[in-house]
C-alpha cells in the first residue's frame, strides 16, 4: 500500500491526550491514522493521506 506522510513542525505538544504527541518516523508509518485522530485539538502535525484520498474525497472541501 502506498501512502504519503506530510510532517509539519506545528504540533503544540499538549498533554490533553494524556501523552505527548510526537511525529512518528515515516519509515514506520503504515497509514493507520491513529496519530492524526489522537490529537484532541486537531492541531497534530502529522497528516496521512492514503492513495487517491484527498480533501474532496473525504468531503472536506464541499
Task: Residue 45: give its domain's CATH number.
Answer: 3.30.70.20
Residue 31, domain member (yes or no) = yes
Let me know: does 35 contact 24? Beta carbons within 8 Å: yes
Whether 57 is in a domain gets the answer: no
Q: Write out the residue range of the structural domain in which residue 22 sits.
A: 3-50
38 part of a folded domain: yes
- The string of pLDDT tens digits covering residues 7-53 is 544 555 555 555 544 555 566 666 676 666 666 665 544 455 555 65
**60 torsion bin: left (phi>0), alpha (psi -120 to 50), beta (else):** alpha
Identify whether 56 is part of a domain: no
Q: What is the rounded radius of gyration, in angstroms, for the C-alpha atoms of the chain?
A: 12
Q: What is the pLDDT of residue 52?
A: 60
pTM: 0.30
Residue 59 lies inside a defined structural domain of this protein: no
Q: How many structural domains is the chain composed of?
A: 1
In a domain, 62, yes or no: no
Please check whether residue 25 lies inside any domain of the structure: yes
Cell reading at 19: 501523552
Amino acid at each position: 500500500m502506498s501512502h504519503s506522510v506530510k510532517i509539519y513542525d506545528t504540533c503544540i505538544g499538549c498533554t490533553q491526550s494524556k501523552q505527548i504527541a510526537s511525529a512518528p518516523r515515516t519509515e514506520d508509518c503504515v497509514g493507520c491514522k491513529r496519530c492524526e485522530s489522537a490529537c484532541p485539538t486537531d492541531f497534530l502535525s502529522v497528516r496521512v493521506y492514503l492513495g487517491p484520498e484527498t480533501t474532496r474525497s473525504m468531503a472536506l472541501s464541499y
